Structure 1
Amino acid sequence: MSAPLQRACWPLERLGDAAVALAERLGLSQAQPHLGAPPQDADPWTLTRWLETLEPALHLEFHPAEPSLQLLGTMLTHHLPALALLPAAEGKGVLVLLRATGRHLVLLSPEGHAIEVDRDEIADALSHAAVAAAAPHLEPLLDLAAVPLRRRPAARRALLVDWLGEQQVAQLWRVRIAAAAPVRRQASHAHLPRLAALIALAFAAYQILLLLSWWMIGNGAFSGRLHPGWITAWTLVLLSSAPFLQASGWLQGRVSIAVARLLKARLLRGSLSVDPDRLKHEGIGHQIGRVIEAETFELLSLNGGFLGLLALFQLPAAATVLALGPGGALQVAALLAWSAFTAVSALRLYRARLRWSHRSLRLTHDTIERMVGNRTRLVQQPEASWHDEEDRDLASVAQAAAAMDRGEVIMRAVIPRGWLVLGVASLLPATLAEALPTARLAVGLGGVLLAYQGFYLLSQSLTQILTAHVSWTLVRDMFHAGAAPPRAVPVRPHAEDAAPTAPTVPTVLHASGLGFRYPDRAAPVLDRCSLTIARNDRILLRGSSGGGKSTLASLLAGLREAHEGTLLLDGLDRHTLGREAWRRRVVLVPQFHDNHVFTASFAFNLLVGRRWPAHDEDYRAAEAVCHGLGLGKLLERMPGGLSEMVGEAGWRLSHGERSRMFVARALLQSPRVLILDESFGALDPENVLRCLEYVTRQDCSLILISHP
C-alpha cells in the first residue's frame, strides 16, 4: 500500500466519523451525532445496518454495492461519492471516495485533506483479498501456455476477470443525499443555482446578439449602405447567437432532469411518510388524483419557467425599443397597461383552474370508489339511480372546465394578438402628426413585434405556471411530508443493531400513560395505557373488537404517535432513535386488510424488508423461515421456488399462505419486538400450533393480538 493511500485510510472504528466528514464535505454540516464504534469483526451487511442508523442525522443514504472485478473500475469512476471497505493485514479500514479526476480518485483523509491516488491502485487494494486467493492458481496456467513475461500482466488480468466472473471482490457504499434533506442542500449538490445562472446568461447573450444583428441590417438598409460588409457582419452576429440558444436548450434539459429526479424522490418519500389514517380517510381515488397532479406540476412548472425567463428578457428589450421609437412614452404606457391586463387575466384563469382541479379531483375519487364497489352497487342499488351522482359530478366539472377554457383563450389568443392591435394603434398618433422617416417607423413596428413575441411567451408561460401552481397546492403536503422530521437529540447508534449481543437492561419496550384519540372521535381509544416488555417476553393481548388493540400495536411499532405519555425503546424515545431505526427494531404484522402482496416474486415479498437485491444467505434464511411456518409444500409446488411470481395482489396464494408470508417477512427482518395482529386467523388449528411454536422459538419479544 502506497504512502498516499495509507494517509487517506480511516480506521474501521472511525467509520462514523468518516461518514460525518463526508456529509460536511457535501454541504450537510450540522450538529454531529453521538457516534459509537461499529463492531470490528462485523460483516458488510452488519456494517450496512450500522450505517443506516446514521442516515436520519446526516441526511445521507448509504447504498451497499458489491461489484465484481470487471465492474469495480466503473463503480470507482461513475458512482461517487462513496465509502469503501479496505481489507488490510493490520486491520480493516475505510476509504472516503469523493470524485474522479482522470485516472485518479480524490480521497478524503482523516485530517480533512483531499488526496489524489491512482484509480488502479485503489482497485487493486480493494480487491486484494479475492485476487490473492485466485492468483496462485493462475501461474501454472501461464507457465503451461508459455506466455511471455512482458505479456503476463495483461494475461493475468484477463484470466482473473474471467475466473472471478460475477464474484464479489469489494464492498462499497454509494452515498447519496437523502430525499428528506433540505431542498436548498439538494439543489446546491445538483448545481441547480449555477445551471440557472448559466441559462440566464445564455438567454441574455442570445437576446443581445439577436437585437444587434437586426439593428445592423436595419441600419444598413435604411441608410442606403447595404454593401457586402454589412451583410457579412449581420450574418456573423446572427450566427453567433445560435450557440447561445443551443446552450440554453441543453442547460434546460440538464435542469429538467435534475429537478425531476429530486421532485420524484421527495414525493415518493412523502407518499411513504403520510399518516396512514389520513390516506384511508381520503381514499385511493384522491391519491390517484394527486399522482396525476404531481405529474402535471413536474411537466409544466419547468417548461413554464423557461418560457417566462425568456419573456422577462424580451419585454424589457421591447420597452427599450419602443421608447426609442416614434411612439415614445405613449407606446411604453400602452405596454405597461397591457401587462397589467395580462396579470388580471392570469389571476382569473388561476381561480378558474383551481375550481376545476378540485372538482376534477373529487370526480376521480368518486369514480374510483364506484369502481371498487361496483359489485355491491350492481346488487344493492336500483339500476335507475346508478348514474345520478355521476351525471351531477360531470356537469359540475364541465361547467368549471368551460370557465377555465374561456380564461385560456384570453391568455393564449387575446393577450398576444390584442397587443398587436393596441401597439399599432398607439403608434398612429405619432404617424399622423408628422411624416416619419421609414427607419423610425420600422423601429416602432419592430418594437411592437418584439413585444408581441414577449407577450406570446409570457401568456404561454403564465398558463403553464398557474396550472403547475394549482397542482402544487394539491401535492405540497405530500412534498413536505417527505422532509426530515425535526430531531430533538442526534442519533446514537447502538451496537445491538449491528451484532446480537445481550442487552444492558432487561427492559426492551416501556410505555407509560399512553393516550391516543382519532380526529373524528370525541372519546380516546387509549387512555393512560402503560406496559413494560422485557427481552424475549411472550405477551397475549386479548380484547373485544374496537377496543384499541390494533391502535396500541401501531403506537408500539412507530406507525402512529401517541398524543400523550411516554414510549421508550431501549431507553430512547422515537424522536431520538429515529423513525426508521425504531421500525427496524419493532416490526408489526398488521391485520390482513392492512398488509400487501407486491406483484413480484415470492422471494421479493419475503425479503423486501430485509435486503434487496438479496444474497445467497438471504435466500437460505427465507427458505428456513418458510419451512418453519409450514410453507415448505408451497415452495415444492411452485416450479420457480422462491423466484416464482405470485401474481397481482398475490392471487396465486391462498389466504392462509399470504398470512404466513406476512409473518415470514417480519421474521426475516430480525426484530427486537415482533407484533402479530390476528395473523393466524385464516389458519387451521394444526398450522396455528405449528406457527406459534416456531415464532415463540425466535430470539425476540413477542406480542400476539387475538380476539377472546
Structure 2
Amino acid sequence: MSMGFKMLSWPIAQAEEAMRALAEECKLIRSDGDRTSLVDSRFGQLEGMVGVARKIGVEAEEIEAKYSEISQLIKMAAPAVIRVEIEKESRLILLVPGSRRRPRVLTPQLKVVAVPFRVIRAVLAGPLEATVETRIEAIVNSANIRKSRRDKTRRALYSEHLDQHPLGTVWILRVPAGAPFLDQLRQIGAISRAVLLAGTHLTQYILFLFSWWLIGRGALTGNLDPTWMSGWALLLVTLVPLRMLVVYVQGRVVIGTSALLKRRLLAGVMNLDLEGLKLEGAGMLLGRVIETDTIEAQALSGANVALLAVIEVAVTFWVLLQGAGGMWHANLFGLWLCVATAIFWRHVVAIDRWVTLRLKLTHDHTERMIGHRTRLVQEDPKRWHEGEDHLLDEYMRASSGVDSIGVYVGQVALIWRIIGIAALASMYTATQGTIGGLAVSLGGVILGGRALQRLANGVGALAIAGVAWKRAKPIFHAASDGDEMRAVSRLQEYAVPDSGPVVVARDVSFTYQGRHRAAISNADLVINSGDRILLVGPSGGGKSTLISLLGALRAPENGLLLCQGFDLATLGSQTWRKIIAIAPQFHDNHVLSETFAFNLLMGRRWPPTASDYQEATEICQELGLGDLLDRMPGGILQVVGETGWQLSHGEQSRLFVARALLQEADLVILDESFGALDSGNLKLAIECARNRAKSLVVVAHP
C-alpha cells in the first residue's frame, strides 16, 4: 500500500512546487507559470513551508495533528499539505477539497485522484500504530474476542493507547486575511451559495404564487375540484424541502462569512497605526470592538433578509401587474414603497445618532473605570458623578427617537395591506374584473405586505451594521495593506548580505503629529553584530522615539534607516521585527491572561517544541525566576495575568526581558526594562541579556 501511495505523494525537495500547484488547483492564486525556487535567506519567515506559502501569496497555518484527529483531518483540512514518512522517506500529501468519504489528492503529475479514506488513514497512522501493534494483537488474541468484532476492538485499543500522540505536521492553506475580501468569499463558496440562496428563494415564491393562484381561483369561484386541491397540496409539500434548503444555505453563508470577517478584523487590528491607537483611549477601542461584533450580528443576518426582501418586492410588482389592478395597482405599491423608504431613512439617521452617543457613553464609562483607583484616592467624592447625567440624558433622548420612528417602521406593511385591499375593492366594484384577476391582485397585496415587513427588518439590521461599519472600516481596510507579501516578493530579487551592520541610520528625523519640534533630528547610528550599547538620556529626550524607529513601530519622516542592508519597504515589518526584538517600556508591555509559557514564547513559533520549553525554563532560571516557577502550582504552564497568578512588577519586568531574548533576534533592545529590579536581580538580568543577545541595546535614565 505504501509503495503505491508513494507515487501519489511529493518529495520534500519539491515542497515549493507542490504548494504552488495545490494553491493553483484550489484557486487560491492565479497560475502564472512561475516555478522558481526560494533563494537562500537568513530571514525566518522565508524558511520552511510557512515561508514558501508567503512567497507564493497564500497563508499556511502550521499545526501538529494528533492521532485522535486523523479522521477530522482527512475529511475537513483540505486544502492542506501533510508531511508523512513513507518507506523512511519524508513525503508530502496534498489534500484537495472534495468528498469526505473519498478524499482527493494532487499527484506530482498534477492530476487530482480520489483515494479511499482507509488508504490515506493507513498511510498517516500506520507508522504510529506499528509501535504498539504487537501489544494490541496480544491483547486481542488473549481476550478471545469474536472475529467479527476484532477490527472494532483494535480501533478502540489504538485510540486508547495513541489518542494524544502527535501524528505529524500539517499546513492548512488559505487566502491571506489581507487579500481582496471577494476572493476570500469565493474560496469558501459563499458567493455561489448566495446565488443558490437567491435562486432557491425565487423558486420558492414562484411555487407559492402558483399554489395561491390554484386555491384562490377555486375558493373565489366556489369550485374546489379535488384535482386542483391535490395539485395545491403537492405544491405545499414541495415548498417544505425548498424552505429547508434556504435555511441551510443561509446558515452556511452566515457562518462562513462571519468567520472570514473575524479573521479579517483581527488581521486589521494587528496592522493599525500604533500612534493613532494611543490617541483614541481604551474606551474608544472597546467601542470599536463592540461595533465589530455588531457588524457580524446585524450585517450578515440583515443582508440575507434584505436580499430576500428585494426578491419579494420584484415579484410583488410582477404579480400586481398580472392582477385586476394592473399598472395602476403596481404604481400604488411603488408610491408606498417610496414613502416607506423615507421612513426607513429617518430610522437610519436616528440609529446613527443613537450609536454615536452609545460609543461616547462606553468611552466615558470605560475611562472612569480605568481611573477609578486614582479618583478614589485623589478626587473629591462630590465630583465623582459630574457630567454623567448629561450624557445619559442625551442617550435616552436618542433611544426614544429610535423607538418612536421604529413604531412607524413596524406599521409600514400593515398600512400597505389596508391601502392595497381598499384600492382593490374600489377597482373591482368599478370594473367588475374577473375572479382570477382578483385572486392574483389579492395575492400581490399579501405578498407586498410580507416583502415590506421583511424589508423593514432587514433595513433596521443593516442600518445598525452600517453605522458600526463607519467605526470598524479602518480596521477592515488595515488588513489589506499587503506590504508583507510585496516585501517577501521584492526580497527574492536581492542577495542577503552575510555580514555587515545590523542597523544603519543616516540623518533620520521624526516629529510627532501636532508638534513643531522634532523628537529626533538628523540622527546617525550604526549598530554592528556583537555590539553592547547603553543609551542614556533625560526623560523626554527622544530615547523611546529612537527605539520605536529602530523597531519599525514608527517610520522616519526623512533620512535613511536600514536593517541588514534593506529598508522597511523591502523587508516588511514582520521580517524587520524578527531581526530586531524590542522589550518596550513597562506601560506599553503587557502580561496576557494566558500561561506563563505562552507569555514567554509568544514571539517564537507556535505551538512550541520541547526544546522551546527547555530554553524558556533555562532563561527564567538565569533571570532569577526559578523560585517563581517553583511557587506556581502549574509551573511554566501556570495561567498568569489579570485572571490568573498575579506577578509583581519585578517579575513582570524579567518576563518581558525573557520574552525578547527568546525571539532569537539579531538585535535585542531593552527599553527601561530594569527599573523595577533590586540590585541582585538587576545583576542577574544584565548578565543574562549580555550572554544571550547577539547584539544588545539597553535604554536607561542617567
TM-score of the two chains, using structure 2 as the length reference: 0.90
User: What is the SS of the residue equivalent to 2:97?
Assistant: strand
Distance 1:542 1:129, change over 3 A: farther
Q: 1:559 aligns with which of 549, 553, 562?
A: 553
Cα deviation, residue 421, structure 1? 3.4
Q: Distance in 2 between matches of 1:428 and 1:531?
A: 88
Q: Residue 697 of structure 1: CA displacement? A: 1.0
Structure 1 residues 406 and 225: CA distance shift in structure 2, 3 A: same
Match of 2:9 in 1: 9
* Equivalent residue, structure 2, for 1:666: 660
Q: Is contact 1:34-1:491 (8 Å) kept?
A: no
* Structure 2: tracts of 5 or more residues without a match: none
Contact persistence 1:48–1:64 (CA under 8 A): no
Contact 2:500 2:564 in 1 (8 A): no
Check the 8 A contact 1:130/1:169 in 2, yes or no.
Answer: yes
| Alpha-carbon distance in structure 1 between the residues aligned to 2:369 and 2:102 | 59
Counterpart of 2:479 (choices 477, 482, 498) is: 482
> Is it true that 1:358 corresponds to 2:352 in the alignment?
no
Superimposed CA distance per residue, residues 460-512 of structure 1 (whole angstroms, 9 cap, x where no aligned partner): 22111122111111111111112242454544789xxxxxxx97113222333
Q: Which moves more between the two structures, 140-149 or 625-634? A: 140-149
2:627 equivalent in structure 1? 633
Partner amino acid, structure 2, of 1:637: R
Higher deviation after alignment, 560-569 or 617-626 = 560-569
Which amino acid in 2 is paired with 1:633?
A: D
User: Do residues 454 (structure 1) and 456 (structure 2) align?
Assistant: no
Q: In structure 1, how many angstroms separate the alpha carbons of the residues matched to 2:508 and 2:488?
A: 24
Q: What's the counterpart of residue 315 of structure 1? A: 313
The verdict on how the C-alpha distance between 1:385 and 1:585 changes in structure 2, with shifts beyond 3 A counting, is same
Residue of structure 1 equivalent to 2:22: 22
Which residue number corresponds to residue 498 of structure 1?
none
Give the Å deviation of 1:56. Answer: 4.3
Query: What are the Cα deviations for residues 619-638 of structure 1, in whole angstroms up to 9, with x where unaligned?
Result: 21111010011111111222
- Deviation readout 1:348-392 (Å, 9 max, x if unpaired): 222222222222211211111112122333444444443332122
**Percent sequence identity over aligned pairs:** 36
Residues 263 and 136 (structure 1), Cα distance of their counterparts in 2 relative to 1, 3 Å cut: same
Q: Which structure 2 residues correspond to residues 8-407 of structure 1 after superposition, within 5 A?
A: 8-29=8-29, 35-36=37-38, 50-87=48-85, 91-99=89-97, 101=99, 104-126=102-124, 130=128, 164=162, 166-407=164-405
Deviation at 1:692, TM superposition (A): 0.9
What SS class does the counterpart of residue 422 from structure 1 fall into? helix
Task: Tell me whether 417-426 or 83-92 shows the greater mean CA deviation.
Answer: 83-92
The whole-number CA distance in structure 2 between the counterparts of 1:147 and 1:431 is: 82
Once the two structures are superposed, the pairs formed by residues 565-584 of structure 1 within 5 Å of their partners are 565-584=559-578
Cα distance change, pair 430–158 in 1 and its aligned pair in 2 (3 A) = closer
- The question of whether the paired residues in 2 share the 8 Å contact of 1:179 and 1:482 is answered with yes
Instruction: Report the 3-state secondary structure (helix = DSSP H, G, I; strand = E; otherwise coil) of the residue aligned with 2:324.
Output: coil
Deviation at 1:208, TM superposition (A): 0.7
Deviations 1:120-178, CA, capped at 9 Å, x for gaps: 44444455665566668888889999999999999887766655553334232233333
Q: Which residue of 2 aligns with 1:511?
A: 505
- 1:678, CA displacement in angstroms? 0.6
Q: Is the 8 A contact 2:632 2:638 kept in 1?
A: yes
Q: 1:491 to 1:199 in 2, by over 3 A?
A: same
The answer for the alignment partner of 1:587 in structure 2 is 581
Paired with 1:222 and 1:145, the residues of 2 have a C-alpha distance of 77
In the TM superposition, residue 586 of structure 1 has moved relative to its aligned partner by 1.7
Q: Relative to structure 2, which stretch is displaced further, 432-441 or 225-234?
A: 432-441
Cα 1:115–1:232 shift into 2, 3 Å = closer
- How far does residue 437 in structure 1 lie from its aligned partner after superposition? 5.7
Change (3 A) 1:632 1:33: farther
Q: Tell me, yes or no, if the aligned pair for 1:597 and 1:649 is still in contact at 8 Å.
A: no
Distance of aligned partners of 1:242 and 1:88 in 2 relative to their CA distance in 1, 3 Å threshold: closer
Aligned residues: 695
Paired position in structure 2 for 1:472 = 469
Unaligned runs of 5+ in 1: 495-501
SS of match in other structure, 1:256: helix
**Matched ranges for 1:477-556 at <5 A:** 477-486=474-483, 488-491=486-489, 504-556=498-550
Q: 1:4, 1:115 within 8 Å by CA — same for their partners in 2?
A: no
Go from structure 1 to structure 2 and tell me whether the alpha carbon gap of 1:639 and 1:217 turns closer, same or farther (over 3 Å shift).
closer
Does the CA contact (< 8 Å) of 1:53 and 1:491 recur in 2? no
Q: 1:575 to 1:338 in 2, by over 3 A?
A: same
- Asked if residue 607 in structure 1 is aligned to residue 601 in structure 2, the reply is yes
Letter matched to residue 456 of structure 1: Q
CA contact (8 A) 1:508 1:534 kept: yes
Partner of 1:686: 680
CA contact (8 A) 2:519 2:542 kept: yes
Q: Which amino acid aligns with 1:184?
A: L
CA distance in 2, matches of 1:442, 1:115: 56
CA drift of 1:94 comes to 2.6
Going from structure 1 to structure 2, the CA distance change for 1:299 and 1:164 (only over 3 Å counts) comes to: closer
| Partner secondary structure for residue 87 of structure 1 | strand
Displacement of 1:589 in angstroms is 0.5
Where does residue 418 of structure 1 map in the other structure?
A: 415
State the shift of 1:333 in Å: 1.7
Does the Cα contact within 8 Å between 1:507 and 1:532 map onto a contact in 2? yes
Question: Displacement, 1:48?
Answer: 9.8
- 1:16 and 1:281 map into 2 onto residues whose CA distance is 43
Rounded Cα–Cα distance in structure 1 between residues aligned with 2:246 and 2:154: 48
**CA separation of 1:529/1:98 partners in 2, compared to 1, >3 Å: closer, same or farther?**
farther
Q: Comparing 103-112 with 450-459, which one deviates more in the overlay?
A: 103-112
1:695 aligns with 2:689: yes
1:445 & 1:154 partners in 2: Cα distance? 63
The 1:397–1:34 alpha-carbon spacing in structure 2 relative to 1, beyond 3 Å, is farther
Deviation at 1:602, TM superposition (A): 1.7
Q: Deviations over 1:283-308 (max 9, x none)?
A: 11111111221222211212222222
**Cα–Cα, structure 1 residues 511 and 85, in superposed 2: closer, same or farther, change >3 Å?**
farther
Aligned match of 2:442: 445
Change in Cα spacing, 1:52 to 1:564, as seen in structure 2 (3 Å) is farther
Q: 1:107 to 1:510 in 2, by over 3 A?
A: farther
After TM superposition, the score normalised by the length of structure 1 is 0.89
The alpha-carbon deviation at position 435 of structure 1 amounts to 4.5
Instruction: Give the whole-Å Cα distance in 2 for the aligned partners of 1:583 and 1:47.
Output: 11
Q: Measure, in 2, the Cα distance between the counterparts of 1:224 and 1:493.
A: 81
One-letter code of the match for 2:219?
A: A
SS in 2 for 1:604: helix
C-alpha distance in 2 between matches for 1:133 and 1:243: 50
